[in-house]
Structure 1
Amino acid sequence: MIGRGNPLCPACAVDVLTQKIIAGVDIGGTKTRIMACVGERTIADEVLVTESWRIRQMETDATRLADIVAGLCGGVAPVALAVGAHGCDTGEQCLRFQALLASRTGGAVQVVNDAELMVPAAGHSDGIGVVAGTGSIAVARTGQGKMLAAGGWGWILGDEGSAPALVREAAKAVRHSLDRGEDGDPLIAALMHELVTDDQTKLGILLNETRGAAVWGRYANAVFDAAIAGSALAVRVIREGGAGLAALVELLIQRGANPALVVAGGGVISEQPMLMKAFVEAMAEVSPASQILLLREPPVLGGVALARRLLVGQGYPPTLELFE
């Protein structure tokens, strides 16, 4: 665990036992952040490596997460728990994980896709959430609570604008450039530096040997560094990544999502202004009237906000009919 904020202290334990604990969880592709509160007071704020507890087997993951949350709350299960989970990309998947967690905590539970934390974390109740980090996806809800999602297919098939997808597209751009006999673009040198090679012909081999979204994603800084250094190839890759994210939002709007507000977040788009700029420019073409926000707060606060709504009975109705 990587500690953040205030761990639960013994002096708080008696107080916690007599008050209502709520918790929000942001399960990302790389990190998981858990925040628990009593009233307005944060009693736990912890960051874990997702792979340290999640094995992608829902029953086991639910047991482990419930135990971790309870452990951070002094052995007391929260009365309301809201989870944004990377990889829960359909309503049915969210409901299944939700039911498993509820059976292990005994409290009110809501599970949504991690992109759905963007809007409540920004202080709003309705809008389209976009994540661009280890993966990418756009998610919204209809007025009846039905989940709408576009993207989230993984970096091999898509994940436009995500860190590994930017590296994938950068490598393809480099390949085409070298095949044309053009080897002066800064992106080529930047990728070679990241892969620790001075042989251009080994770029494909080395990338193939280090397969995996998290590994490829670590090379994404090379794309942005190259763009700053004047790489036309890198600029094009970033621009197309932003356009790809906007295209996901466009699909949701076509399916009935409210286009008034779009909130973007995730490790790449929040840390790389060039990608956010490309996304905003592309959204100006897709939906000029939409308000586009970059999430400045940690997404886990969206989980806390959803948990507060659960506490007062304002969460989404957890019924399968919504997703049929």
Structure 2
Amino acid sequence: MTQKMIAGVDIGGTKTRIMACLGERTIADEVLVTETWRIRDMETDATTLAGIVANLCGGMAPAALAVGAHGCDTDEQCLRFQALLAARTGGAVQVVNDAELMVPAAGHVDGIGVVSGTGSIAVARTAEGKMLAAGGWGWILGDEGSAPALVREAAKAIRRALDHGEDGSDPLIGALMRELGTDDHTKLGILLNETRGAAVWGRHANAVFDAAIAGSALAVRVIREGGAGLAALVELLIERGANPALVVAGGGVISEQPMLMTAFVDAMAKVSPPSQVLLLRDPPVLGGVALARRLLAGQGVSSQIGAV
């Protein structure tokens, strides 16, 4: 039996990972900076991504392609990008939100996926296949528990502490000041205001966790509230009909910072005690590969958002 090429793609806010397989053998595994190819014009992005995937597949379009895309937050957006990619590849295509890669990457079929990275979002499907999403509003409005939001909340916690007359000895204050290259705490707001973009803000998130390890009460509270914010997104999905049995969390922040995962698990124990909460330890792109395999076998897509 002739083996067919498949590919999975994880488009994150910062990085894009593409994995192509021939049968069970991985023939390509590439990581790109998302902003080097994605311009947020769906038609152009579809053309560019189809070309990148074909190049990694030795000049051939894969027979099945599954994409988890940061920013595809509704069924309509997913289906549009899906149709554009299908027109450019000629194969079977499925597009979902990048959070939807968490569950298949963990080896499961149904569950709630949570991403905590450059942004944050929780996504699930109803029994009828309708997409449910909570969060994903960007770091200015929300993205609770994401890297830039943790920095934002840390700066606000520092502001409140200093406004209340605290002496500035909490380790979070010094950690964030060092991260921003200043010894004047009154300039924190100015320096952060001059720093544009979620990815840039997010680079300072390690300072929050370092401060917590150093004994910062402010940082511990920020992290705890970040975990609770992620759990609140899951709670919203459960209230809207998502199956609460399984929750899989992943993304660059929560997978690398055990304190945030602990805060999330603790908050989930209050939000939905019966839920099994897992941390995805494998690359989310493996969820794209798993979806592509199902797509090739004719499973799953029509029951979710429709095959193209």
TM above 0.5: yes
The answer to whether residue 59 in structure 2 is matched with residue 67 in structure 1 is: no
SS in 2 for 1:271: coil
Among candidates 225, 233, 237, match of residue 240 of structure 1: 225
- Which letter maps to 2:46? A
AA aligned to 1:297 is D
| Partner in structure 2 of residue 301 of structure 1 | 286
CA separation in 2, counterparts of 1:111 and 1:320?
A: 9
Whether contact under 8 Å (1:135, 1:163) holds in the other structure is yes
Q: Is structure 2 residue 38 aligned with structure 1 residue 54?
A: yes
| Unaligned residue ranges in structure 2 (runs of 5+) | none
Hey, what does 2:198 align to over in structure 1?
213
* Aligned counterpart for 1:34 among listed residues 18, 21, 24: 18
- Aligned counterpart in structure 2 of residue 128 of structure 1, from 99, 109, 112: 112
- Flag the 1:138–1:319 CA change in 2: closer, same or farther, 3 A: closer
Aligned to 2:103: 119
- In 2, Cα distance between the equivalents of 1:293 and 1:320? 25
- Structure 2: distance between partners of 1:144 and 1:282: 28
Deviations 1:222-270 (A, max 9, x none): 0000000110000000000000000000000000000000000000000
1:71, 1:144 → 2: CA distance? 36
Q: Is 1:25 matched up with 2:44? A: no
Distance 2:205 2:268 in 1: 23
Q: TM-score, normalised by structure 1?
A: 0.93
Q: What do the CA deviations read for 1:78-125 (whole angstroms, capped 9, x no partner)?
A: 000000000000110000000000000000000000000000000000
Distance in 2, matches of 1:319 and 1:23, equals 19
**Partner residue in 1 for 2:77:** 93
- Residue 318 of structure 1 and its aligned partner are, at CA, apart by 7.8
Superposed displacement of residue 320, structure 1: 7.0
> Which of 282, 287, 292 in structure 1 is aligned with 2:272?
287
Query: Distance between the aligned counterparts of 1:281 and 1:321, measured in 2?
Result: 36
How far the C-alpha of 1:66 sits from its partner, in A, is: 0.1
- C-alpha distance in structure 2 between counterparts of 1:320 and 1:257, whole Å: 16
* Match for residue 45 of structure 1 among 12, 16, 29: 29
Q: Is the 8 A contact 1:25 1:32 kept in 2?
A: yes
Distance 1:51 1:200 in 2: 32
Report the Cα offset of residue 133 of structure 1. 0.2
Q: 1:165 aligned to 2:149?
A: yes
Find the aligned partners of 2:9 and 2:173 in 1 and give their Cα distance.
Answer: 39
For 2:164 and 2:133, the matched residues in 1 are separated by 39
What residue is the counterpart of 1:103 in the other structure? 87
Aligned position for 1:14: none
Q: CA deviation at 1:317?
A: 1.7
1:267 alignment partner in structure 2: 252
Give the 3-state SS of the residue equivalent to 2:39 in structure 1: coil
Output the amino acid matched with 1:170: A
Aligned with 2:240 (options 238, 255, 267): 255
Tell me whether 1:176 sits opposite 2:160 in the alignment: yes
Q: Residues 38-66 of structure 1, C-alpha deviation per residue, up to 9 Å, x if partnerless?
A: 11000100000000100000000000000
1:155 match: secondary structure = coil
- Using the aligned pairs only, state the percent identity: 87
For the 8 Å contact 1:227–1:234, the answer to whether it is kept is yes
TM-fit CA distance, 1:19:
3.3
Q: Hey, what's the Cα distance between the residues in 2 that align with 1:139 and 1:216?
A: 24
Q: 1:47 to 1:321 in 2, by over 3 A?
A: closer
- Secondary structure in 1 aligned to 2:254? helix
Aligned CA distance change for structure 1 residues 178 and 146 (closer, same or farther; 3 Å) = same
TM-score, L = length of structure 2: 0.97
Work out whether residues 102 and 287 of structure 2, in 8 Å CA contact, stay in contact via their aligned partners in 1.
Answer: yes
Question: What is the alpha-carbon distance in structure 2 between the residues aligned to residue 115 and residue 259 of structure 1?
Answer: 16
Instruction: Report SS of the residue matched to 1:137.
Output: strand
* Post-superposition offset of 1:166: 0.2
For 1:56 and 1:207, the matched residues in 2 are separated by: 25
The SS at the match of 1:268 is coil
The 3-state SS of whatever aligns with 2:67 is strand
Alignment root-mean-square deviation, CA: 1.4
